[in-house]
Chain A
């Protein structure tokens, strides 16, 4: 079983602060996704990264895929209360059916 460990598990910060969430594995993934989930809803895709070393930006969110395609990070600049939610990374391994493994999640609370 491939494991994706996320850190930190919980994060409570003031509005305007920066933060980074990490997603680590000993396995190589062909692609990695980041999702955000709000209470009572299903996860919603934020971004997909495919190439080792790839960096993608989505407004104040910056996503990076590790060179070896085993890890990823999500950096949020100047956090806003609307960023509050559960952030999940998910990896797909190539070579077969599309089984997606999810990380353990990081619960972010942004305080006004």
Chain B
């Protein structure tokens, strides 16, 4: 969607290799999120950020780390990818307080062999 881009869109990697997914926004929104989507589980929050250098864990954070050095960029890193991390990863942004509305990127499909 306009204002939020994810890269890469598709990646195939091998078990044990590091992987970094990038989320870039041009909306100057404060909040950024990484979700993973798997059949039968819906969208599950991995990590989120509430400002530059301010991040916190979500419900499925094991095996993942994040960094946010600039407002516009939120990186998700798999230090040593495992097959259980094969998934579609979505980045989302939110700028308002109160009723929370998320704008999602188009997703990054990761396959770990």
Contacts and interface: CB of A to CB of B under 8 A. Distances in A.
A21 to B, nearest CB: 13
Given A41-B107, A42-B1, A44-B104, A100 B45 contact: yes
B50 A41 contact: no
Given A42-B1, A42-B106, A45-B101, A98 B31 contact: yes
Interface residues of A, number: 25
A98 B95 CA distance: 10
Nearest to B94: A98
Interface in A61-81: none
Interface bin, chain B: 20 to 34
Contacts of B48: 97-99
A15 to B, nearest CB: 26
B100 interface: yes
A90 interface: yes
A45 to B, nearest CB: 6
B33 interface: yes
Given A48-B101, A98-B100, A104 B40 contact: yes
A90 B102 contact: yes
Interface in B30-78: 31, 33, 35, 40-45, 48, 50, 56, 58-59
A60 B103 CA distance: 23
A87 B107 CA distance: 17
Interface of A: 1, 30-31, 33, 35, 40-45, 48, 50, 88, 90, 92, 97-105
18 contacts: A30-B98, A31-B98, A33-B100, A40-B106, A40-B107, A41-B107, A42-B90, A42-B104, A43-B90, A45-B101, A45-B103, A48-B99, A90-B43, A97-B50, A100-B94, A102-B44, A104-B40, A104-B42
For the complex of A and B, the 5 pairs showing the least CB-CB separation, nearest first, are A42-B104, A31-B99, A102-B43, A92-B100, A104-B42
